Chains A and B, each alone.
Chain A
């Protein structure tokens, strides 16, 4: 369970990206986060994933305050998540397979075993034949599917995806949603930001709306 209490992030300026946000996300939930650009979605994701520290308030996972983890504990905390974020793109100079293998290699999985799991993950997202290609040679949809493969290959308990269907054609977007749904069915908590709510109709269990850094709507 992820719990945000009075969570705030103020950037220099000052710009209030997130203001006094209270939010509890139970394990296994499929949560849709909506809102205009600049509403605070990405900041919320970065705070939950431990990529930023809050100005005030807390993020706790299973009642453990993330702020107390310190520099040594944060990397291990981050490994609980599968990220499809714009600031964690596929590395263009590494092959698709090498990109997808990263979370496993970072976690210390032996190389051979890691690449066996990568092959399975790429097969699942329909990219088995593109494993040894570089990401820039892939289409937008294929890159997004590779990013999803990287996000789930280490079997995280939570997947956070920021606009995973943006700039994709309808077929590719539906394919991405189908994949996310399949991983959610396997017990993974999904936190997805999107502008295209219709795509996730019937998939999301809960929808929250952010505006100017505040939670303005929460529907289940």
Chain B
């Protein structure tokens, strides 16, 4: 009678736990190295996502101001406003009458100067908020508004939009590069850890081979070992990351409050923790697999 797949896996898992326990300090050090490699880029990604969320929030969205021609009738201007409100590239349109604009101007430092003018020099205007905030989308909308017959001039501060998107893109790329770099480091570390275990178990492997063990049977505990080591590192990494976040959240929240932005909470901590533990397990298993394949290829 052949034993089941589960029994074989359980036996291999037992061997892997024994291997982990055999050198506890090596396990601790390797776990800490791997956990740091996971927690650091995760923290950067969390900060990057939070900053992007800030600048993507209300109050900081790009606005295009379109000034109507001075001679344009109010009715015609309002018809243009109505038409743009239905445009799918536009989130919302606010009409600002020349009287309203003058009233606002009077409340500024220019108020006294305005009073000296014989008549209201300001045209009717509308502010247009694009639905999509990428520099390309904003520029395209700006061009379409400028081509509108009743519009005299269009103003948009595209520079800051580009700056914010540039910063967010750079931050995301740095976080991604760091994540890839640290993932590679984690793979190399797991590869090395499993390789050392394989070398330490050389006599046992030789005996198992002589007794008829297949590469699959020999490698199974080491596959579990890589998986366990990665999962352990992922769990410790998640704890480290959670601690860092708990420490960083109050100052970031305070910063957000000072700038009138929303709270700093890019994604739930538990979700990040689970993702970290899963990433650790997958990278650990992958590192073990590479190590085993190379070991079996080199030995007959």
Contact = CB atoms under 8 A, between A and B. Distances in A.
Given A110-B7, A111-B3, A111-B11, A78 B212 contact: yes
A1 interface: no
Interface stretch (B55-63, B89-97, B201-209, B269-277): B201-209
Given A75-B213, A87-B206, A91-B204, A108 B2 contact: yes
B212 A88 contact: no
A75 B207 contact: no
B3 A108 contact: yes
Given A71-B300, A75-B214, A109-B1, A102 B208 contact: yes
Interface residues of B, number: 21
Interface residues of A, number: 27
Given A71-B300, A111-B11, A113-B1, A106 B211 contact: yes
Nearest to A72: B214
B29 to A, nearest CB: 22
A83 B8 contact: no
A79 B217 CA distance: 14
A29 to B, nearest CB: 22
Nearest to A103: B211
B210 interface: yes
Contacts of A49: 210
A42 B110 CA distance: 105
Main secondary structure, interface of B, reads helix
Nearest to B18: A93
A71 to B, nearest CB: 7
A76 interface: yes
A106 B208 contact: yes
A79 B209 CA distance: 10
A166 interface: no
A107 B217 CA distance: 10
Contacts of B3: 108-111
8 contacts: A72-B214, A79-B211, A79-B212, A83-B210, A88-B210, A102-B207, A106-B217, A111-B11
Interface of A: 49, 51, 71-72, 75-79, 83, 85, 87-89, 91, 93, 102-103, 105-111, 113, 150
Task: Kindly list the 5 A-B residue pairs having the minimum CB-CB distance in the complex, ordered from nearest.
Answer: A79-B212, A110-B3, A78-B212, A88-B210, A108-B2
